[in-house]
Chains A and B, each alone.
Chain A
Amino acid sequence: ETGVTQSPTHLIKTRGQQVTLRCSSQSGHNTVSWYQQALGQGPQFIFQYYREEENGRGNFPPRFSGLQFPNYSSELNVNALELDDSALYLCASTPRVNGGTDTQYFGPGTRLTVL
């Protein structure tokens, strides 16, 4: 167990809807990253938040947005859902002591299905 929790575990939405996924970081970790993992592929980096500010972003459109709260928990919001958004969404937290060298610890993920 990494101490990173995510909710919900599973979610089914229809095309065009909006979804919010939640992540609670490991205690003492001030950085959170979000990933999308399609079946049979490696995780794809969506973005990272450090002390409530976006610190880096992958090649995802603006309809993927996020928030980090003062307690370092985080949300991933996806608007205008598309069928290709069906994936496992992973949250990872980091202590952010050494910048880019820090290890990321993953939560169990949220399985999103878009119909």
Chain B
Amino acid sequence: QKEVEQNSGPLSVPEGAIASLNCTYSDRGSQSFFWYRQYSGKSPELIMSIYSNGDKEDGRFTAQLNKASQYVSLLIRDSQPSDSATYLCAVNFNTGGFKTIFGAGTRLFVKA
């Protein structure tokens, strides 16, 4: 059973702080990893994709992947109230047919 796990939160951080979101996955055959942000009542929007071990930075966001530990994280620097949303970790598999597994999401609150 392929699984993706996230802390459900809520995670509360003050404005300007660093928010750290974590995700673990069970299948070593996982190929690609994504972080999506979802506002209440809206569809997921892509923040970052990462495919190889290490860090990937895009503006205030940094994704980190460690395939040996089956762990992917998202850091949000200088958190803003507008970052308050649910953050979804997603993992793609393409063995025996394509599948994407999402975690249940972590709710983030950034306090002004």
Chain A contact residues, CB within 8 Å of chain B: 2, 33, 35, 40-45, 48, 50, 55-58, 88, 90, 99-109
Among B43, B94, B99, which residue has its beta carbon within 8 angstroms of that of A90? B43
B98 touches A106 (CB 8 A): no
Whole-angstrom distance between the Cβ of A6 and the nearest chain B Cβ:
9
Further 14 A-B residue pairs, CB within 8 A, beyond A44-B102, A45-B101, A100-B32: A2-B45, A33-B98, A33-B100, A35-B100, A43-B88, A45-B99, A48-B99, A55-B98, A57-B97, A101-B31, A103-B34, A103-B49, A104-B100, A106-B43
Dominant SS among interface residues on chain B: strand
A43 touches B102 (CB 8 A): yes
Q: How many residues of B contact A (CB 8 A)?
A: 26
Q: Are A100 and B93 in contact (CB under 8 A)?
A: yes
B82 to chain A, nearest CB (A): 18
A90 CA / B105 CA spacing, docked (Å): 16
A40 to B8, CA, bound (A): 10
Q: Does B104 sit within 8 A of A, measured CB to CB?
A: yes
Tell me, yes or no, whether B44 is within 8 Å of chain A by CB. Answer: yes
Rounded to whole angstroms, the CA-CA distance of A40 and B45 in the bound complex is: 17
Interface string of B79-112 (1 = CB under 8 A from A): 0000000001010111001111111110000000
